């Protein structure tokens, strides 16, 4: 009998208890052993829950119980989640987590501590909700060099952007719906300002390139400045606006960034709507591989947490390759990042040719409500900003294109 414990009985924690209980017989047949949830740590009482007898309030009850070998941390936030995780790993207990904040901030150290103590630290649920993405990166790309990963990594913002595009819905109303559905973070600023996607991008970059960047230091723009008009300008040019996390190598240095991107209809990411996430991995041997599925929500995220627990309970764990914290020399200069941009200028019709003089030939050029929207050729950040400044017309919107 394997004894497990859950830290946190919120949306993901209660979902994990449900997944493990509802599919217990199936899971036990797969791991070849029986298991139980021995404790659930939470500050609150849950008198009406069938799991009420398992609730404990003192972390030491779990830490000091030698029978507990696998713990799922679903508390959210850096502290005390990080401190509890560290103590558990040092006590020889494996930890799995959905907590992207802890993995992105402290993953290098926690993986190292797990290795030193002969236990495991797995975090499938930290990226992409219910989509298997960390596990494939741990195992199935091992014959490849990964060159880039781009994707929709936040369900809340994708849900908001989809409804803004389809219904012209107001930002605040849709955000409230996302909170009600259990997609949003406790503080939804992390979703809409891009930090949640930045943490996930940092985790993917570390999985791909072995370097962990500081999630608070990478280029990060959310969707708070995106208006229904921006969506309409993009749509008129055949694009949809998506919040994209991207990582790649530039001259051997890691680029990691989050920003709204214009995605053309022929890109598989274009059709990723609502709470779904879509992650495109590019690798030298296999080419492009797309991962798609529910990016947030109770049971999808819990399914990923449970999968990590099952992997450890089965005794067949493949650990993530070692990470190191990125130094200045490992990080690409963002000014040099090259992409095309979808630009909208407010420019009188008779002067629109002036834009062509500054930006050269463009993919698309149209007048809409007196505005002019077009796609530039690929240019570095620095060059794009310099040309915008020299255009001499008010810029209404700039959205980087995801090619
Ligand atoms: N708030 C996150 C999202 C939850 O919307 O994607 C899943 O990580």
User: What's the number of CA atoms in the CB half-sphere (13 Å) around residue 112?
Assistant: 9
Q: Whose CA is nearest to atom 4 of ligand 1?
A: 296
Instruction: Work out which ligand 1 atom sits closest to the CA atom of 178.
Output: 5
**From the CA of 197, how far away is ligand 1's center (Å)?**
8
Output the CA–CA distances (angstroms, integers) from residue 396 to 271, 342, 360, 369, in the order listed: 26, 11, 19, 12
Instruction: Work out which ligand 1 atom sits closest to the CA atom of 158.
Output: 5
User: What's the number of CA atoms in the CB half-sphere (13 Å) around residue 81?
Assistant: 23
Please give the model's pTM, rounded to 2 decimal places: 0.97
Ligand 1 lined by 128 (C-beta under 6 Å): no
**From the CA of 102, how far away is ligand 1's center (Å)?**
14
Per-residue pLDDT, 289 = 98
With CA atoms as reference, report the closest residue to 249 among 383, 392, 149, 132: 149
Ligand 1 lined by 193 (C-beta under 6 Å): no
Instruction: Work out which ligand 1 atom sits closest to the CA atom of 154.
Output: 6
Ligand 1 lined by 296 (C-beta under 6 Å): yes
The catalytic residue positions are 200
If one residue of 12, 101, 129, 223 were mutated to test the ligand 1 pocket, choosing by the most ligand atoms within 8 A of its CB, it would be 129
Instruction: Work out which ligand 1 atom sits closest to the CA atom of 295.
Output: 6
The set of residues, in sequence order, having a beta carbon less than 8 Å from that of 301 and lying 6+ positions away, is 11, 12, 15, 98, 125, 129, 130
Q: Whose CA is nearest to atom 7 of ligand 1?
A: 296
Mean pLDDT of each 10-residue bin along the chain, 403 residues long: 98 98 98 98 97 98 98 97 98 98 98 98 98 98 97 97 87 90 92 98 98 98 91 90 98 98 96 97 98 97 98 96 96 97 88 86 64 92 97 94 96
Q: How far apart are CA 193 and CA 197, in angstroms?
A: 9
With CA atoms as reference, report the closest residue to 102 among 27, 38, 196, 2: 196
**From the CA of 383, how far away is ligand 1's center (Å)?**
34
First to last CA, the chain: 50
Contact 184, 178 (CB under 8 A): yes
Ligand 1 lined by 295 (C-beta under 6 Å): yes
If one residue of 127, 184, 298, 302 were mutated to test the ligand 1 pocket, choosing by the most ligand atoms within 8 A of its CB, it would be 184
Per-residue pLDDT, 150 = 98
């Amino acid at each position: 009998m394997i004894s497990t414990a859950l830290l946190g009985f919120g949306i993901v924690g209660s979902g994990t208890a449900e997944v493990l209980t509802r599919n217990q017989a199936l899971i036990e047949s797969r791991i070849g052993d029986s298991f139980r949830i021995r404790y659930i740590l939470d500050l609150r009482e849950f008198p009406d829950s069938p799991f009420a007898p398992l609730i404990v309030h003192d972390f030491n009850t779990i830490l000091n119980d030698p029978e507990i070998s696998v713990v799922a941390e679903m508390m959210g936030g850096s502290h005390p989640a990080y401190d509890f995780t560290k103590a558990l790993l040092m006590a020889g207990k494996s930890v799995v987590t959905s907590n992207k904040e802890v993995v992105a901030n402290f993953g290098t150290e926690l993986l190292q501590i797990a290795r030193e103590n002969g236990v495991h630290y797995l975090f499938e649920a930290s990226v992409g909700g219910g989509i298997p993405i960390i596990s494939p990166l741990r195992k199935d790309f091992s014959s490849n060099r990964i060159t880039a990963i781009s994707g929709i990594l936040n369900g809340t913002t994708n849900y908001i952007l989809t409804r803004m595009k389809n219904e012209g819905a107001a930002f605040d109303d849709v955000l409230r719906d996302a909170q009600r559905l259990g997609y949003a973070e406790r503080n939804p600023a992390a979703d809409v300002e891009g930090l949640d996607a930045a943490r996930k991008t940092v985790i993917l970059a570390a999985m791909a390139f072995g370097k962990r960047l500081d999630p608070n230091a990478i280029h990060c723009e959310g969707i708070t400045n995106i208006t229904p008009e921006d969506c309409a300008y993009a749509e008129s040019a055949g694009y949809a606006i998506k919040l994209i996390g991207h990582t790649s190598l530039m001259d051997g240095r890691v680029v990691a960034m989050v920003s709204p991107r214009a995605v053309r209809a022929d890109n598989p990411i274009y059709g990723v709507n609502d709470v779904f996430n879509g992650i495109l991995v590019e690798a030298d041997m296999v080419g492009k591989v797309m991962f798609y599925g529910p990016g947030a929500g109770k049971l999808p995220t819990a399914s990923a947490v449970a999968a990590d627990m099952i992997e450890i309970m089965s005794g067949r764990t493949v650990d993530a390759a070692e990470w190191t914290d990125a130094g200045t020399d490992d990080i690409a200069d963002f000014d040099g990042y090259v992409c095309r941009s979808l630009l909208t200028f407010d420019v009188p019709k008779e002067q629109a040719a002036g834009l062509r003089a500054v930006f050269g030939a463009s993919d698309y050029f149209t007048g809409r409500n007196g505005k002019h929207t077009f796609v530039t050729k690929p240019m570095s950040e620095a060059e794009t900003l310099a040309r915008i400044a020299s255009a001499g017309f008010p810029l209404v919107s700039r959205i980087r294109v995801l090619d």
